[in-house]
Amino acid sequence: MEDKKILFSAVQPSGILTLGNYLGALRNFTALQNDFNGIFALADLHTLTVKQEPAVLRQNTYELTALYLACGIDPEKSILFAQSHVSAHAELSWILNTITYPGELSRMTQFKDKSRNHEDNINMGLMDYPVLMAADILLYQTELVPVGADQKQHLELARDIAIRFNNRYGETFKVPEAYISKSTARIMSLSEPDRKMSKSDANLNAFISMNDDKDTVIKKFKRAVTDSDNSVVFDPENKPGISNLLSIYCAVTGKTVKEAENEFSGKGYGDFKLAVGEAVSSVIEPIRLKKNDLLKNKDYLDDVLSIGASKAERLAYRTLGKVYKKVGLVPRKRV
């Protein structure tokens, strides 16, 4: 790898991503891979903490692989792989479990939320999820982790675990830092603009899927919740719906909020919503078409994941070997 800082990110293949995922993460990854050594994992082991249909999970993993590539992730510049293809993730997770305390895990907000939402499947994986996430990050001597607000708590635990291990066994892991992009827009639900846009929303009109075609995108924006006023002004407190649409429009066009407000001054919400839909579809439609084209060649996607896993393994087992030695495990003699 080049002499650049290592940036690691993992995304669950639990369904097609939204416009919010694209603007907040995937779009940034494409730019970041030029400045950092990017390691991007498909977190399929994490996905198993919630009941999955095996065939659907496999298809979702291919979908996410193709989407990464369609968004511009370059396998020559970055490492793209499936988490389950590198067993060092699970191996390190076990070691880290021995220095992680139950109280730390039971306090995790996502564990509490998922336990409430999946009462029929409260499993140890839900609780142990942050330790596996720590293993994901620490295996690669990661320096930077792009995180949203919902993952900051998990990154803090990963940092605590790294420091605790280093204090107990000697310097082993780099302590990762959060990477917060200054240009990331927080994209909210189209039907409830006080909530984050989510692919798991039961209301399909609440989010823009990266699988939505142009007509669907425009229809969803036409149905987006606004207010009884008719002025396109950025005012999150009093006009959350319009403010969210302005954020989306500016994110996909590169315009400032003031430029967008001036553009739609004196125009109604109908014209504005149509313009937002057109702008968004012009960005995601080429990605959707390229992703669908890539999905026709599963052999190519398998090759990308295989090569990525081989690259990741070399880095991961270098760290894991150090960990095993530090904790006192006898090295295996190769014959």
How confident is the prediction along the chain (335 residues), in pLDDT tens digits per residue? 668 999 999 999 988 899 999 998 899 888 899 899 999 999 999 999 888 999 999 999 999 999 999 999 999 999 999 999 999 999 999 999 999 998 888 787 766 666 666 667 678 888 898 999 999 999 999 999 998 766 788 899 999 999 999 999 999 999 999 987 766 668 999 999 999 898 888 899 999 999 999 999 999 999 999 988 889 999 999 999 999 999 999 999 999 999 999 999 989 999 999 999 999 999 999 999 999 999 999 999 999 999 999 999 999 999 999 999 999 999 887 77
Classify residue 335: in a domain, yes or no: no
Per DSSP, what are the bridge partners of residue 235? 239
Classify residue 199: in a domain, yes or no: no
Same structural domain, 245 and 305: no
Same structural domain, 217 and 152: no
Same structural domain, 109 and 145: yes
Is the Cα dihedral 316, 320, 322, 323 positive or negative? positive
pLDDT number for residue 121:
67
Same structural domain, 146 and 287: no
d(CA 287, CA 181): 22
Q: Which CATH number goes with the domain that contains 173?
A: 3.40.50.620
Q: Which CATH number goes with the domain that contains 241?
A: 1.10.240.10
Classify residue 198: in a domain, yes or no: no
Same structural domain, 169 and 250: no
pLDDT number for residue 67:
97
Half-sphere exposure of 4 (CA within 13 A, CB side): 16
Instruction: Please give the structure tokens belonging to residue 238.
Output: 């009093």
d(CA 309, CA 307): 5
Same structural domain, 164 and 268: no
pLDDT number for residue 53:
95
pLDDT number for residue 125:
83
Classify residue 115: in a domain, yes or no: yes
pLDDT number for residue 114:
65
The chain-wide mean pLDDT, for the chain, equals: 92
Same structural domain, 286 and 307: no
Expressed as residue numbers, the domain containing 98 is 6-184+298-327
**Token pair 């003031």 is at which residue?**
258
Classify residue 190: in a domain, yes or no: no
pLDDT number for residue 219:
96
Same structural domain, 171 and 211: no
d(CA 10, CA 316): 15
Same structural domain, 21 and 157: yes
Is the Cα dihedral 307, 296, 279, 198 positive or negative? negative
Per-residue model confidence as pLDDT tens digits over 78-128: 999 999 999 999 999 999 999 999 888 878 776 666 666 666 767 888 889
Classify residue 235: in a domain, yes or no: yes
CA 253 to chain centre: 22
Active-site amino acid positions: 114, 196, 199
Per-residue model confidence as pLDDT tens digits over 266-286: 899 999 999 999 999 999 999
Same structural domain, 11 and 132: yes
